[in-house]
Amino acid sequence: MSHLPQIDYDTASQEVRAAHDEEVRLRGRMTNMKRTLLHSPAAHRIYAEWFTLRAELDPVLNDREIWIFSHAISKAAKSKIAITFFRRALISKGFNPDALELSRAEALLAAFGKAIVVDSNAVPTELWVKLKERYETKVLVDLVAFAGIMLATAVFNNVVEVDFDPELEAFAEGANPT
At 3, which amino acid appears?
H
Q: Is the pLDDT score of 106 beyond 60? A: yes
Report pLDDT digits (tens) over 118-152: 999 999 999 999 999 999 999 999 999 999 999 99
Asked if residue 176 belongs to a domain, the reply is no
Number of domain units in the chain: 1
Asked if residue 111 belongs to a domain, the reply is yes
What is the pLDDT averaged over residues 99-118?
98
Band (pLDDT 50/70/90 cuts) for residue 174 is: confident
Q: State if pTM tops 0.85.
A: yes
> Looking at residue 177, what is its pLDDT?
53
Quote the domain boundaries for residue 23: 9-171
Q: If you count them, how many residues does the chain have?
A: 178
> Looking at residue 176, what is its pLDDT?
67
Q: What is the mean pLDDT of the chain?
A: 97
Burial of 17 (0-12, 13-18, 19+ CB in 10 A): middle
Q: Is the pLDDT score of 74 beyond 80? A: yes
Asked if residue 177 belongs to a domain, the reply is no
Band (pLDDT 50/70/90 cuts) for residue 96 is: very high
Asked if residue 158 belongs to a domain, the reply is yes
Asked if residue 77 belongs to a domain, the reply is yes
Asked if residue 178 belongs to a domain, the reply is no
Give the 3-state secondary structure of residue 122: coil
- CATH assignment at residue 30: 1.20.1290.10
Asked if residue 1 belongs to a domain, the reply is no
Q: Is the pLDDT score of 28 beyond 60? A: yes
> Looking at residue 65, what is its pLDDT?
98
